[in-house]
Structure formats: structure tokens, C-alpha cells
Amino acid sequence: MAYTLVTRRLLPGSLDPLSGHDLVVNDSDRPLSHDELRERIRGANALICLPGDNVDASVIEAGSALSIIATVSVGFDHIDLSAATQSGIPVCHTPDVLDEATADLTLGLIIAASRRMGEAERDLRALTWQGWAVDQYLGLELNGSTLGIVGFGRIGKAVAKRAFGFGMQVVHHSRHPSGEPGYFADLDQMLAVSDVVSLHVPLTEQTRHLIDARRLALMKNTAVLVNTSRGPVVDEEALAEALAAGELKHGTLALVEEGVPVIALATQKSLAEKTLSNIMEVKARGARVIGISQADDDHLVGQVETLIRIPPVPDLLTPALSVLPLQLLAYYAAVARGTDVDRPRNLAKSVTVE
């Protein structure tokens, strides 16, 4: 029987595959503090965590019995991958299943910001709407406008597919040439021609504050910026200043930096009320959709049940592969069952199950 620590409550039934193990679940929606996480992970064989949990080197050191770290998310910037790799602990996440749901949210934010829906709804709710006027809530027509996508992976491509349906011209920038029409090698040039900019990059040292004051100044002053990637990809203080100065029309964000809303930053800086009306922030995970959310949780937990029986292998991961997508987890599960399967090409070492 393995001791599994779950840092936050999941959807009903998600933990059923682990019912035969010793489960310790934080049943509240309050994240564990760093000290609480470090204390509770002692003796744990598996950790199931979420974004917001700081699984750093000290937590991993305290979890010396860990065989697996699993995060119910696509992103894994909250986990110290170097420390996990050095300890021989596989780290897994849940890509793919979230792509379409996140693309839906992105397009919803693009429409809401472009047509000033948030501003109009706030006025109506506050009972400050005085009736129709010819120049009221004038917005951007998506048909014929240019969408610039930063990061042209699975989610970026899913957003592009939806944007085409609205008659938008789609251009994109990525680290490597995509070989597809609309590719810009120079991010600055793409920002300058885009009416809407949508961000879909992971958070790394290279992408932290990728959109800073300098790049915000390159964008059209009528542009809409949408961020459904990690909050710190945007320098949000610079964003608040740009909105106040009229250098940018609207900013919409699904994730905020260090938990501090841009609206709060604008308020702290005593920026104009106009700044507040031009910001839309969504306090929700873009992938939390009925059906998708359950699949997200179930896929991860189902694999953890098998992987906690596999002893740590110090050389399991190469420096280039520090986090495991579900296809590799499926391979491990098959090996654990004794099934003869082909090893995935990007798995450097074979796995021996005792």
C-alpha cells in the first residue's frame, strides 16, 4: 500500500483508482503552504499536485520516498524539474486533453475584449448604463482583422482554426519556423501588424516578461492582448501603464502574475478609471470544462496507480526530457503489466520493473 499525497481536492470519483492505497487529500481549495507541503510529503510514495503548489528542491528533498510527481495541468513551471531529475523521480503532466477547451476560452476572451462585453456588462450590473448612444462601446470587428499568435503549438493552432471561422487573418511566431503560411521569424514585426495578440507559450526564463514595456509599445494602440498562458509571460505592471496611457486598447488575461490582478495593480498606482474598464481578467482555469476536467484528472490518477509500484530509476530521464506526457506514462504502465510494447522514440533509457 502506497502513501499518496493529493494537494487539492479533485472531481468526485477521480481518485477511485487509488482507493486501495493510503490517500492523504487536502479537501479544501486552499493551497497548502510551502511548510505544510514539505511536512506532509515526508514518507509519501506519490505526489499529485496542481498549479500553485511550489514543488521546489526542498520539497523534493523532503519527499525522499517519492516514486512519481504528477501535476493535474499542462504547465509544470511550479515543479523543480532539475531537482526531480537528479533524484530520479519521474514528473508527469496532462497535455493534449486541454487544448480545445483552452482554445475555446481564448476565442471567448478575444470576442469579449474586442466587442467590449466586459465593460458593457459591468455598467449594466452597476446600474450606470443610461441608454443607447451611437458611439457607445465601439469595438473591433473580427472579420478582416489580424490575429497574431505567439507560440504555434497545439493550442495556438486550435485558436487559429477558430479564428479562421470568424474571417480573421492569422499570423504567428514560434521559436522555430513552422513551415506554414503567416509565419513571422521576428516577434516584434508580428506584434506591429496584429490587431489581436494571443499568447500560447510555456513559462521559462526565456518567456518571462516576453511581452514587456518595449514590446507593448510596438503594438497598435487599438490592439487587444489576450494571455491564456502563464501570467508572468506578460509584465503586468507595464501592461497596466500601457492601458492607462492609451498605448493599448484592451488587455484580457486568464492567469495573473504571482496572484496579483492587473486591476489591483492599476488601482494601487491610482491609474485612470479608463484603465480599469479596459482590463478583463478571468479567475478560472481555461481547461476546467465538464468532461474534459474529469478526463484530465482520471488520466493522471489512473497512471499514478501503476507508477507508484515502479522503483525510482536515477537515469530514467535525460536532461532534455524532464517531464513525461501521457504517452510515456502509458508505456510505463504497459511495462509494469509485463506487456511487450515498443519503446517511444524520445525515451532514452529502458525501464526495468522488479
Q: Identify residue 173 by its one-letter amino acid code.
A: H
* pLDDT at site 72: 81
Other C-beta atoms lying within 10 Å of the C-beta of residue 86: 14
Other C-beta atoms lying within 10 Å of the C-beta of residue 310: 19
| Single pTM value for the model | 0.69
* pLDDT at site 114: 87
Helix or strand or coil: residue 307? helix
Range with top average pLDDT, 124-128, 197-201, 226-230, 280-284 = 197-201
Does residue 257 register a pLDDT over 50?
A: no
pLDDT digits 0-9 by tens, 39-90: 999 999 889 898 889 999 999 999 999 888 888 877 788 899 889 888 888 8
Q: Distance between CA atoms of 53 and 218, rounded to whole angstroms?
A: 35
Rg (CA), the chain: 22
Question: Which of 19, 20, 23 is closest to 3 using CA atoms?
Answer: 23
Place of cell 497545439: 154
Does residue 146 register a pLDDT over 90?
A: yes
CB 59 within 8 A of CB 38: yes
Other C-beta atoms lying within 10 Å of the C-beta of residue 160: 21
* pLDDT at site 204: 87
CB 140 within 8 A of CB 111: no
